[in-house]
Structure 1
Amino acid sequence: MLYITGTPIGNLDDMSYRAVSTLAAVDEILCEDTRTTRKLTNHFEITTPLRSYHDFNKETATEEIIEELKAGKSFALVTDAGMPVISDPGFELVSRLQDESLDYTVIPAASAFTMALVASGIPSYEFTYFGFLPKSNQKRQEKLTEILHHRKTAVIYESPHRMKQLLKDLVKFDPKRLVSISREITKKFEQHERKTANELLHMMDKEIPLKGEFVVIIEGYEEETVNFTGTAKDHVSELVNEGMRPKDAIKLVSELRGMKKQHVYDEFHK
């Protein structure tokens, strides 16, 4: 059996009894960073051996784990904090378990993005989780342009040294867009702030320390928020100038204007 086991995202008091007993009972614990997980297991006096399972070894490790599961071994899969698989390695292993009809179960825990969404005060009936933005500037701008035109509430993770630039990009596009940022969730200096992108930018460093991982909740796009004028070709061109790939811009414009994608494509490429 594989136990996909959630762990606290900051406050160790959030560790469940079921998680503790599971980690103590399995044959091995699969973890991203053995040093981080060892702090957790030491705290709860768990002596189960640890094995590295991360992005750099998951391909070979997955097949080894499958064979050991077939032989009767039990594992717990954990991440450094929160729920495994969410923006972390693991879905490949789960997929292989399904292929092999092997047993697994999920032991729940907090996930930073769901807690930030709950605390944001921004509509959460429908939302899209985008995880971390790409590191390369071009891809980052493309993804951010897509997010800023997304009709549903958007959820992203961001590192402290990129938060200011993220808010500058949001202000450039729509300074009045409602944004919530959360940091240090469940820890001593937990903070949630919901204001316009422009207001948050002016709070950075002073009222909002650039420390800890950030979860950013962005209000969904409404056509009335930004008024595009001109033809569909103009609309696509403007999005491309903002950093979106032409094919993505064509798709978005067709959705926003209620046009067939082929018609927008033909007009843009005239």
Structure 2
Amino acid sequence: MVSRYTVLGLAAEAEPLAPGLHIVATPIGNLGDISLRALSTLAAADRVLAEDSRVTKILLAHYGIATPLIPYHEHNAAEMQPQLLARLAAGEKLALVSDAGTPLVSDPGQRLVEAAIAAGHPVTAVPGASAVLAGLVLSGLPGERFYFEGFLPSRTAERRRRIRALAAIPATLVLFEAPHRIAETLQDLAALLGARGAAVARELTKKFETIRRGILPDLAERFAAEPPPKGEIVVIVGPPLGEAEADEVAIDRALAAALATHSQRDAVALVAGELGLPRKRVYARALRLAAGEGGDA
């Protein structure tokens, strides 16, 4: 039987697919962000294992794919796993997808993959969209070394304890957060991590995608003064600041406040006295800010 899918109104024939478990990345919002290999795999599979079948139905229908769906999520994973392993043992071709992005990142697919590998079944990855990487590259923060934390605990004490544990990691941090908790989380991050560079990415790849960049205390203030945003949120926090970088951030914040009510000369004198720094250094920073060479807006 020939499997087909449709792209740009044209029918395409799926490539033959080997038996085994195929981990397929799907779009995080924009349905155009899917590879031809992913479409071919979804069309040629015997079954698609979907974290949220309602979301996956929309994707498959958009590309004319008729592969049957099997719901596979955190609530039925224990029950479904033996059945899925039996299908793999019988030589079936199963495609595993999450509701968006790359499977196994904050979803229950990990347990099935571990069990399939332990049972000796072939496991293949079809890479693609990832909110983690999209948020990281859009943040403007260092990407050479990063640590993905996922969702922080929802309870305040546990969340703060976890942030303290993350504080010493010498890498950019990538977090997921719910809209109704973003303001509180940013306040905790600012209080415990200080004036690190950060970005809040919302609705990545979708129509209302927004990226807000700045330093943690400023972002915390902005979000605390606004209604909770809507949509999926990724928070990116820069690595720990060196002493010189921390001084520059402190100078910039103090200068911004002082310049609102003082001349440049008086603001420099005021900030130098407050921070105990040489006036020459503060003046040089004031000139850079005036020239538009300060931090992100």
**Structure 1, residues 172-196: CA drift from partner, whole Å, max 9, x if none?**
2355221111111111121112201
CA distance 1:101–1:69, change in 2 (3 Å): same
- State the alpha-carbon separation in 2 of the partners of residues 203 and 109 from structure 1: 33
Partner of 2:52: 33
Deviation at 1:168, TM superposition (A): 1.3
Write out per-residue CA displacement over residues 142-170 of structure 1, whole angstroms, 9 at most, x where no aligned residue: 11222233222111101111111011112
1:65 to 65, 84, 87: 84
Residues 1:46 and 2:61 aligned together: no
The question of 1:87 aligning with 2:136 is answered no
Give the CA deviation at 1:120. Answer: 1.0
2:153, 2:193 → 1: CA distance?
Answer: 21
Asked if structure 2 preserves the Cα contact closer than 8 Å seen for 1:131 and 1:156, the reply is: yes
Taking the aligned partners of 1:226 and 1:117, their CA distance within structure 2 comes to 22
Corresponding residue for 1:99? 118
How high is the TM-score relative to the length of structure 2?
A: 0.71
Partner amino acid for 2:219? L
Partner of 1:169: 188
Distance 1:186 1:15 in 2: 12
Runs ≥4 in structure 1, deviation > 3 angstroms? 205-209, 222-227
Q: Quote the Cα distance in structure 2 between the aligned partners of 1:208 and 1:117.
A: 25
Identical-pair percentage: 41
Q: Secondary structure at the match of 1:139?
A: helix
Match of 2:34 among 4, 9, 15: 15
Q: Is the 8 A contact 2:174 2:237 kept in 1?
A: yes
8 Å CA contact 1:7, 1:110 repeated in 2: yes
Aligned residues of 1:179 and 1:217 also touching (Cα < 8 A): yes
Instruction: Describe the SS at the equivalent of 1:204.
Output: helix
Alignment coverage as a number of residue pairs: 227
Q: Which has the larger Rg?
A: 2
Shift of 1:131: 0.5
Cα RMSD after superposing both structures? 2.1
Q: Could you tell me whether the CA contact under 8 Å between 1:151 and 1:222 is conserved in 2?
A: no
Whether the 8 Å CA contact 2:149–2:174 is kept in 1: the answer is yes
1:170 maps to amino acid: L
Residue 207 of structure 2: SS of its match in structure 1? coil
**How big is the shift at 1:205?**
7.5
Write out aligned runs for 1:45-194 (5 A): 45-194=64-213
**Partner amino acid for 2:181?**
R
* Alpha-carbon shift at residue 203 of structure 1 (Å): 2.9
1:140, 1:176 → 2: CA distance? Answer: 19
Q: Could you say if the C-alpha distance between residues 10 and 166 of structure 1 is closer, same or farther in structure 2, counting changes exceeding 3 Å?
A: same
Whether the 8 Å CA contact 2:163–2:192 is kept in 1: the answer is: no
Please state whether the residue corresponding to 1:130 is helix, strand or coil: strand
Does residue 3 of structure 1 match 2:22?
yes
1:93-147 per-residue CA deviation (whole Å, 9 max, x = no partner) reads: 1111211211121111110011111111111111111011122333222112222
Contact 1:174 1:226 in 2 (8 A): no
Q: Distance in 2 between matches of 1:208 and 1:108?
A: 36
SS of 1:156 mapped into structure 2: strand
- Is there any run of 5+ residues in structure 2 with no aligned partner, and where? 1-19, 248-297
Report deviation, 1:209. 6.7
TM-score of the superposition, structure 1-length normalised?
0.78
Structure 1: 5+ residue runs without aligned partners? Answer: 228-270
Name the CA distance, whole Å, in 1 between partners of 2:55 and 2:193.
Answer: 39
